[in-house]
Structure 1
Amino acid sequence: MLLQSPELSRLLIVFIPQLILAGLFLFLAIKLLRRNQQRPTVTLCMLYILSASGLIFNAIFLLIAAFQPENEVLLLVIYFLSYFPMLFSPVFILTFIISILKLGDVFTIKKQLIITLIYGFIVFIIFFTPNGITFSEQWRPSYSWGFLTLVYISLTVFIVLPTLWYSRRLIKTFQDKMLKRKLITFIIGIYGMLTSIYGTVLYLTWQNSLFSSLWSSITTFIIIPSAIFIYYGIGRDL
């Protein structure tokens, strides 16, 4: 019976915190959109909205896996809908920083769309890596080390390094000390979010009980402050 199985513990431990995080992301996105609907604001909101949607779909995946584990096709589709937003959302960190660093006539919507689509295509292709993602009988996902390598390379090369470069340039454009402090808070939030992605991928790859327990304990305490730092650093002043 489910009520007497370890799957209930997994369901409660993962399901509830993920819905709380999703609620926080959606709350911050709504607060931003109420201020204005300009391109930088909408871009930053996409980070929150995609992160929330990935968490919500993962919660749905857990429910279906617990109560209808025989529904393989639906479970695979739902898992993709949780995987893709998680790895796709960081592109909006990069395009947000570029959009506030450069004027709209330089970093056009077309250029932003091209960057977004290219990275989205890469994330989509990685999902179909042969033997990249496997599932246990209880539908616990496990990533191969080859899959982790592809994710880390794409995330580092296309998102993290450019974000670091443009962040340094952005800091140099601010002369006011208060604004610089707020920008640094924002950047700390960004790298906290990116760290959570690296850690989650490693968690799903490395079958180490100590790391799994440690990551399960601290991940929420990384994501929540990071999301708030992004909002209070720059987001609410857009």
Structure 2
Amino acid sequence: MVSTVIIQVYVIYGFIFLLFLFLAIKLLIRSRNRISITLSMVFIIPAIGILFNILYRTIDDYYFNLIGNKLTIYLSSLALINIYFFAKIIQKSQVGFPLSRQMTIFLIYAALLAVLFVIPDGVEFEYEGGIKGIEGYNSRSLDPLDLGVPVFSTAFFLYGIILSQTVVIVLIFNGVKQYKEIGKSSKFGKKYIMVLSGMILMDIVIVSSYLFNWLNKPIGRQISLYLGICIIPAAILLYLGLKQEKKEL
């Protein structure tokens, strides 16, 4: 358990944080208009979440761990809404999809996701021996250090997965619809395939995090560790697809 947590947090997540930050900076260097800022949020928001993940594991205070873990899953779930905004701007133009509407939708979705923070006992950390909560934290092994693993309650799992997947389903539906309208042989059609593929890969990571932290089985956490690597090709596909769309506007 301990070695899995260390590898996942400091090796995999550390690299992903740098990758997301790099892609966001590249987008903002090219242009700082509304489209570029919207695209950069696809990478900046989850990068902040990953940073919180690394920080709370490093600081290692039980209650900060709870807040940090919720922030990580919250920001990861929040990021994909920006792909919807980008698609709407492309489809309707910046005039047809005004900034005020974009901000309203973003704030409503952010507020709905924020319910995750107030679900009673939504997240608890479990330590060696299956001891959960502050009791497990106080009695854990210090050599080697037992960082514990987050365990999601059924209410936390269901609320987070239903809300996040509703957004993903809308994104996929709209993406497939626009892909059919554009045509698979066109340059824009190929870019939509990259965006959809990247979005699905990123969503696999989000779903696995919800699912396996809820199931709380060692084999599930190993699977989640391996699936976490999907975020790397996901980020690259999203960047290439979205960047090319912006480049041709």
User: What TM-score does the superposition give when structure 1 sets the normalisation length?
Assistant: 0.86
Structure 1 unaligned runs (5+)? 1-5, 66-70
Partner of 1:132: 122
2:162 equivalent to 1:167: no
Seen in structure 2, the aligned counterparts of structure 1 residues 169 and 102 have a Cα distance that, compared at 3 Å, is farther
How many residues align? The count is 226
Alpha-carbon contact 1:98-1:166 (below 8 Å) kept: no
What's the offset of the Cα at 1:214?
Answer: 2.1
Match 2:40 to one of 39, 45, 55: 45
Separation in structure 2 between the aligned mates of residue 77 and residue 170 of structure 1, nearest angstrom: 39
| Amino acid in structure 1 at the alignment position of 2:156 | F
Letter in 2 for 1:59: I
Which position in structure 2 is the counterpart of 1:23?
18
Q: Map 1:165-204; keep pairs closer than 5 Å.
A: 165-175=173-183, 177-204=186-213
The one-letter code sitting in structure 2 at the alignment partner of 1:116 is F
Q: How far has the Cα of 1:83 moved from its partner?
A: 3.1
Partner of 2:131: none
Deviation by residue 1:111-162 (Cα, 9 ceiling, x = unmatched): 10111001100111122111211122244211012211111111122x1122
Question: C-alpha displacement at 1:236, in angstroms?
Answer: 4.1
Moved more, 37-46 or 8-17: 8-17
Q: Pick closer, same or farther for the CA change 1:204–1:123 going to 2, 3 Å.
A: same
CA contact (8 A) 1:132 1:147 kept: yes
Once the two structures are superposed, residues 51-87 of structure 1 have per-residue CA deviations (whole angstroms, 9 ceiling, x without a partner) of 111111101111122xxxxx44433443343232112
2:156 to 99, 123, 147: 147
Q: Which runs of 4+ in 1 moved over 6 A?
A: none
Partner of 2:80: 90
Secondary structure at the aligned position of 1:126 is classed as helix
Determine the structure 2 residue equivalent to 1:57.
52
> Structure 2 CA distance, aligned partners of 1:40 and 1:168?
21
Q: Is contact 1:11–1:63 with CA below 8 Å preserved after alignment? A: no
CA shift at 1:95, angstroms?
A: 1.5
Paired residue secondary structure (2:93): coil
Query: Contact 2:202 / 2:231 at 8 angstroms: preserved in 1?
Result: yes
Moved more, 164-173 or 14-23: 164-173
Q: Indicate conservation of the 8 Å contact 2:198/2:235, yes or no.
A: yes
Hey, what does 1:81 align to over in structure 2?
A: 71
Identity %: 25
CA contact (8 A) 1:188 1:229 kept: yes
Q: 1:9 to 1:145 in 2, by over 3 A?
A: closer
Flag structure 2 segments of 5+ consecutive residues without an equivalent: 127-136, 138-146
**Alignment TM-score, normalising by the size of structure 2:** 0.83
**Local SS of the residue matching 2:121:** coil
2:226 maps to 1:217: yes
